Homo-oligomer: A and B are copies of this chain.
Amino acid sequence: MAAKPRPKSDAPDASDRVSRIREGVTAAILEHRLLPGTKLGEDEIGEIYGASRTLVRTALQQLAHEGIVNIEKNRGAFVARPTPADAREVFEARRLIEPTIVDHACEAASPDWLERLQQHLAEEREAERRGDARTSVRLSGEFHRLIAEMSGHSIYLGFLKELIARSSLIILLYRRHDTPACGTDHHAGIVAAIRKRDREAARAQMLSHLDEIEAELFLKDPVADELRLADVLGV
Protein backbone atom coordinates (compact mmCIF):
# COMPACT_ATOMS: atom_id res chain seq x y z
CA MET A 1 0.00 0.00 0.00
CA ALA A 2 1.42 3.31 -0.98
CA ALA A 3 2.15 5.64 1.88
CA LYS A 4 -0.10 8.37 0.59
CA PRO A 5 -2.37 7.48 -2.33
CA ARG A 6 -3.42 11.11 -2.51
CA PRO A 7 -2.99 13.19 0.64
CA LYS A 8 -6.07 15.23 -0.14
CA SER A 9 -5.55 17.22 -3.29
CA ASP A 10 -2.63 19.40 -2.38
CA ALA A 11 -0.48 18.61 0.59
CA PRO A 12 -1.41 20.90 3.49
CA ASP A 13 2.10 21.71 4.60
CA ALA A 14 3.60 20.14 1.54
CA SER A 15 5.92 17.31 2.42
CA ASP A 16 7.72 17.75 -0.87
CA ARG A 17 11.33 18.67 -0.94
CA VAL A 18 11.13 22.21 -2.21
CA SER A 19 8.89 23.10 0.72
CA ARG A 20 11.35 21.53 3.10
CA ILE A 21 14.06 23.79 1.72
CA ARG A 22 11.85 26.84 1.77
CA GLU A 23 10.76 26.28 5.33
CA GLY A 24 14.26 25.47 6.47
CA VAL A 25 15.66 28.68 5.09
CA THR A 26 12.67 30.66 6.30
CA ALA A 27 13.09 29.34 9.82
CA ALA A 28 16.77 30.22 9.75
CA ILE A 29 15.94 33.76 8.72
CA LEU A 30 13.13 34.14 11.23
CA GLU A 31 15.37 32.91 14.02
CA HIS A 32 18.02 35.42 13.04
CA ARG A 33 20.55 32.72 12.26
CA LEU A 34 20.85 33.97 8.69
CA LEU A 35 21.73 37.65 8.67
CA PRO A 36 20.64 40.18 6.05
CA GLY A 37 22.99 40.26 3.11
CA THR A 38 24.10 36.67 3.51
CA LYS A 39 24.76 34.96 0.21
CA LEU A 40 22.58 31.94 -0.40
CA GLY A 41 24.52 29.88 -2.92
CA GLU A 42 22.54 27.31 -4.86
CA ASP A 43 25.13 24.55 -4.62
CA GLU A 44 25.66 25.27 -0.96
CA ILE A 45 22.00 24.91 -0.02
CA GLY A 46 21.53 22.02 -2.39
CA GLU A 47 24.23 20.08 -0.66
CA ILE A 48 22.76 20.75 2.77
CA TYR A 49 19.34 19.44 1.80
CA GLY A 50 20.60 16.80 -0.60
CA ALA A 51 18.69 18.36 -3.45
CA SER A 52 19.49 19.41 -6.97
CA ARG A 53 19.92 23.02 -7.91
CA THR A 54 16.59 22.90 -9.70
CA LEU A 55 14.71 22.49 -6.44
CA VAL A 56 16.83 24.98 -4.54
CA ARG A 57 16.24 27.54 -7.23
CA THR A 58 12.47 27.03 -7.01
CA ALA A 59 12.55 27.52 -3.26
CA LEU A 60 14.66 30.65 -3.52
CA GLN A 61 12.32 32.13 -6.09
CA GLN A 62 9.40 31.61 -3.75
CA LEU A 63 11.29 33.29 -0.94
CA ALA A 64 12.12 36.16 -3.25
CA HIS A 65 8.44 36.58 -3.98
CA GLU A 66 7.78 36.70 -0.24
CA GLY A 67 10.27 39.52 0.04
CA ILE A 68 12.78 37.97 2.41
CA VAL A 69 15.32 37.09 -0.28
CA ASN A 70 16.70 39.24 -3.06
CA ILE A 71 17.76 37.64 -6.30
CA GLU A 72 20.26 39.68 -8.29
CA LYS A 73 20.70 38.69 -11.87
CA ASN A 74 23.84 36.65 -12.47
CA ARG A 75 24.89 37.30 -8.88
CA GLY A 76 22.72 34.99 -6.86
CA ALA A 77 20.33 35.09 -3.93
CA PHE A 78 20.87 37.06 -0.73
CA VAL A 79 18.96 37.46 2.48
CA ALA A 80 17.01 40.69 2.07
CA ARG A 81 18.14 43.87 3.75
CA PRO A 82 15.01 46.02 4.15
CA THR A 83 15.55 49.75 4.05
CA PRO A 84 14.01 52.07 6.65
CA ALA A 85 11.47 53.02 4.01
CA ASP A 86 10.56 49.35 3.61
CA ALA A 87 10.26 49.09 7.37
CA ARG A 88 7.81 51.95 7.55
CA GLU A 89 5.72 50.42 4.79
CA VAL A 90 5.67 47.03 6.44
CA PHE A 91 4.50 48.38 9.76
CA GLU A 92 1.94 50.64 8.19
CA ALA A 93 0.50 47.64 6.41
CA ARG A 94 0.48 45.63 9.61
CA ARG A 95 -1.29 48.42 11.46
CA LEU A 96 -3.92 48.37 8.76
CA ILE A 97 -4.42 44.63 8.46
CA GLU A 98 -3.85 43.11 11.86
CA PRO A 99 -6.59 44.93 13.77
CA THR A 100 -9.04 43.59 11.22
CA ILE A 101 -7.58 40.13 11.52
CA VAL A 102 -7.88 40.05 15.28
CA ASP A 103 -11.41 41.31 14.90
CA HIS A 104 -12.25 38.27 12.80
CA ALA A 105 -10.40 36.06 15.24
CA CYS A 106 -12.76 37.18 18.00
CA GLU A 107 -15.69 35.81 16.07
CA ALA A 108 -13.88 32.59 15.27
CA ALA A 109 -12.87 32.00 18.87
CA SER A 110 -13.67 28.46 19.90
CA PRO A 111 -12.52 26.48 22.93
CA ASP A 112 -10.18 24.62 20.64
CA TRP A 113 -8.55 27.77 19.31
CA LEU A 114 -8.35 29.38 22.72
CA GLU A 115 -6.55 26.30 23.91
CA ARG A 116 -4.02 26.58 21.12
CA LEU A 117 -3.45 30.24 21.88
CA GLN A 118 -2.98 29.51 25.55
CA GLN A 119 -0.48 26.80 24.76
CA HIS A 120 1.38 29.14 22.48
CA LEU A 121 1.64 31.76 25.20
CA ALA A 122 3.08 29.12 27.48
CA GLU A 123 5.70 28.21 24.91
CA GLU A 124 6.61 31.85 24.46
CA ARG A 125 7.05 32.33 28.20
CA GLU A 126 9.08 29.17 28.46
CA ALA A 127 11.48 30.23 25.71
CA GLU A 128 11.74 33.67 27.28
CA ARG A 129 12.40 32.21 30.71
CA ARG A 130 15.33 30.12 29.58
CA GLY A 131 16.71 32.98 27.52
CA ASP A 132 16.40 31.20 24.20
CA ALA A 133 16.36 34.31 22.04
CA ARG A 134 16.09 32.45 18.76
CA THR A 135 13.08 30.39 19.66
CA SER A 136 11.62 33.42 21.35
CA VAL A 137 11.76 35.65 18.30
CA ARG A 138 10.34 32.90 16.13
CA LEU A 139 7.42 32.20 18.44
CA SER A 140 6.76 35.88 18.74
CA GLY A 141 6.13 36.05 15.02
CA GLU A 142 4.18 32.83 14.99
CA PHE A 143 1.74 34.27 17.48
CA HIS A 144 0.59 36.78 14.92
CA ARG A 145 0.39 34.11 12.26
CA LEU A 146 -1.68 31.94 14.55
CA ILE A 147 -4.27 34.67 14.96
CA ALA A 148 -4.38 35.10 11.20
CA GLU A 149 -4.99 31.39 10.76
CA MET A 150 -7.69 31.64 13.35
CA SER A 151 -9.45 34.37 11.44
CA GLY A 152 -9.99 31.91 8.62
CA HIS A 153 -9.18 34.58 6.06
CA SER A 154 -6.67 32.95 3.76
CA ILE A 155 -5.76 36.11 1.87
CA TYR A 156 -5.01 38.07 5.00
CA LEU A 157 -3.05 35.07 6.18
CA GLY A 158 -0.91 35.08 3.07
CA PHE A 159 -0.28 38.80 3.29
CA LEU A 160 0.56 38.62 6.95
CA LYS A 161 3.01 35.76 6.54
CA GLU A 162 4.97 37.98 4.22
CA LEU A 163 4.77 40.96 6.55
CA ILE A 164 5.86 38.94 9.55
CA ALA A 165 8.88 37.52 7.78
CA ARG A 166 9.97 40.97 6.72
CA SER A 167 9.32 42.33 10.19
CA SER A 168 11.72 39.80 11.59
CA LEU A 169 14.49 41.14 9.38
CA ILE A 170 13.54 44.71 10.19
CA ILE A 171 13.66 44.13 13.92
CA LEU A 172 17.01 42.48 13.57
CA LEU A 173 18.39 45.43 11.64
CA TYR A 174 16.85 48.39 13.39
CA ARG A 175 16.06 47.53 16.99
CA ARG A 176 17.53 50.13 19.32
CA HIS A 177 18.56 47.97 22.24
CA ASP A 178 17.97 44.37 23.10
CA THR A 179 14.60 44.76 24.66
CA PRO A 180 12.74 41.51 25.27
CA ALA A 181 11.21 39.95 22.21
CA CYS A 182 7.68 41.31 22.32
CA GLY A 183 7.44 43.77 25.16
CA THR A 184 5.62 43.10 28.38
CA ASP A 185 3.41 40.26 27.27
CA HIS A 186 1.03 42.17 25.12
CA HIS A 187 0.21 38.88 23.57
CA ALA A 188 -1.48 37.70 26.73
CA GLY A 189 -3.62 40.81 26.74
CA ILE A 190 -4.68 40.21 23.17
CA VAL A 191 -5.63 36.64 23.94
CA ALA A 192 -7.65 37.81 26.90
CA ALA A 193 -9.58 40.21 24.68
CA ILE A 194 -10.23 37.46 22.17
CA ARG A 195 -11.47 35.20 24.93
CA LYS A 196 -13.93 37.85 26.00
CA ARG A 197 -14.84 38.32 22.35
CA ASP A 198 -14.31 42.02 22.89
CA ARG A 199 -13.54 43.02 19.34
CA GLU A 200 -12.87 46.65 20.03
CA ALA A 201 -10.45 45.89 22.83
CA ALA A 202 -8.70 43.31 20.70
CA ARG A 203 -8.24 45.79 17.86
CA ALA A 204 -6.97 48.44 20.21
CA GLN A 205 -4.52 46.15 21.92
CA MET A 206 -3.18 44.81 18.66
CA LEU A 207 -2.68 48.33 17.38
CA SER A 208 -0.84 49.52 20.44
CA HIS A 209 1.22 46.35 20.41
CA LEU A 210 2.38 47.11 16.88
CA ASP A 211 3.00 50.73 17.75
CA GLU A 212 5.19 49.67 20.59
CA ILE A 213 7.23 47.35 18.44
CA GLU A 214 7.76 50.05 15.87
CA ALA A 215 8.59 52.59 18.56
CA GLU A 216 11.54 50.44 19.54
CA LEU A 217 13.01 50.76 16.07
CA PHE A 218 15.50 53.37 15.04
CA LEU A 219 14.69 54.02 11.41
CA LYS A 220 17.50 56.28 10.41
CA ASP A 221 17.30 57.33 6.85
CA PRO A 222 18.66 55.34 3.94
CA VAL A 223 22.37 56.13 3.87
CA ALA A 224 23.62 53.76 1.25
CA ASP A 225 26.77 52.15 2.52
CA GLU A 226 29.04 54.35 0.43
CA LEU A 227 27.41 57.49 1.74
CA ARG A 228 27.75 56.32 5.28
CA LEU A 229 31.45 55.83 4.69
CA ALA A 230 31.75 59.41 3.51
CA ASP A 231 29.90 60.51 6.60
CA VAL A 232 32.15 58.62 8.95
CA LEU A 233 35.41 59.73 7.37
CA GLY A 234 34.23 63.21 6.49
CA VAL A 235 35.30 65.12 9.65
Residue positions of A touching B, CB distance < 8 A: 9-11, 16, 58, 61-62, 65, 72-73, 86, 89-90, 92-93, 96-97, 100, 153-156, 159, 163
Contacts and interface: CB of A to CB of B under 8 A. Distances in A.
17 contacts: A10-B72, A11-B73, A16-B73, A58-B61, A61-B61, A61-B62, A65-B65, A86-B154, A89-B153, A89-B154, A89-B155, A89-B156, A90-B155, A93-B153, A93-B156, A96-B96, A155-B163
Contacts of A65: 62, 65
Nearest to A18: B61
Given A89-B156, A93-B159, A96-B100, 4 more contacts: A61-B61, A92-B153, A96-B97, A97-B97
Given A10-B73, A72-B9, A155 B93 contact: yes
A100 B86 CA distance: 17
A213 B75 CA distance: 44
A167 to B, nearest CB: 12
A97 B153 CA distance: 15
Contacts of A154: 86, 89
Nearest to A11: B73
Nearest to A57: B58
A98 B147 CA distance: 23
A210 to B, nearest CB: 15
Most buried by B among A11, A58, A97, A159: A159
Nearest to A156: B93
Contacts of A10: 72-73
A85 to B, nearest CB: 9
A58 B65 CA distance: 12
Contacts of A90: 155
